[in-house]
């Protein structure tokens, strides 16, 4: 079965430091997409970064980078120079094709707290 695993229910980081949020996935498909979303306490899911399974370069978006290790099936999110506003729930997700449809499957999330 295809699934996403986030092993860190909660993480703490000091402001201005970097933090890595772990994500591993399990699929036998060759073509898939990996996403990270941020969900503040307000509830909105904010898209952060995307990595395609055929992309050879790690994706980067500002302070966010995705450490993609295909052989290990991991897609860790690295946040550099953490800010207080980064405190939120972070979800890793994978998009897979199922017949004529596609489905985005989420991990259980990691709650990140940035301390001043």
Q: Which residues of this chain interact with another protein, rule CB under 8 A?
A: 31-33, 35, 37, 42-47, 50, 52, 91, 95, 97, 101-104, 106-109
In whole angstroms, the minimum distance from the beta carbon of 72 to another protein comes to 20
Q: Provide the minimum distance between the beta carbon of 79 and another protein in the complex, in angstroms, as a whole number.
A: 19
| Distance of closest approach, residue 46 Cβ to another protein, in angstroms | 7
**Residues 66 and 20: beta-carbon distance below 8 Å:** no
Q: Which of 72, 104, 82 is nearest to 20 (CA)?
A: 82
3-state secondary structure 7-51: CCCEEEEECCCCEEECCEEECCCCCCEEEEEEECCCCCCEEEEEE
Minimum separation from the CB atom of position 32 to another protein (A): 7
Q: Is 16 or 103 the residue whose CB approaches another protein more closely?
A: 103
Rounded to 5 degrees, φ, ψ at 84 are -55, -35
* CB of 64 or CB of 106, closer to another protein: 106
Q: What residues contact residue 39 under an 8 Å CB cut-off, 6+ apart?
A: 45, 46, 88, 89, 90, 91, 109
Q: In terms of CB distance, is 50 or 78 closer to another protein?
A: 50
Nearest CB to another protein, comparing residues 43 and 116: 43
């Amino acid at each position: 079965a295809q699934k996403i695993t986030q092993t860190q229910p909660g993480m703490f980081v000091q402001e201005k430091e970097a933090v890595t949020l772990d994500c591993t996935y399990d699929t036998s498909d060759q073509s898939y997409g990996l996403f990270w979303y941020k969900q503040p306490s307000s509830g909105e899911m904010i898209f952060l970064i995307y990595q395609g399974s055929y992309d050879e370069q790690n994706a980067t978006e500002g302070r966010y980078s995705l450490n993609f290790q295909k052989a290990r099936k991991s897609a860790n999110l690295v946040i550099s120079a953490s800010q207080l506003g980064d405190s939120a729930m972070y979800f890793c997700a994978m998009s897979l094709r199922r017949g004529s449809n596609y489905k985005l499957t989420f991990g259980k999330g990691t709650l990140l707290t940035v301390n001043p």
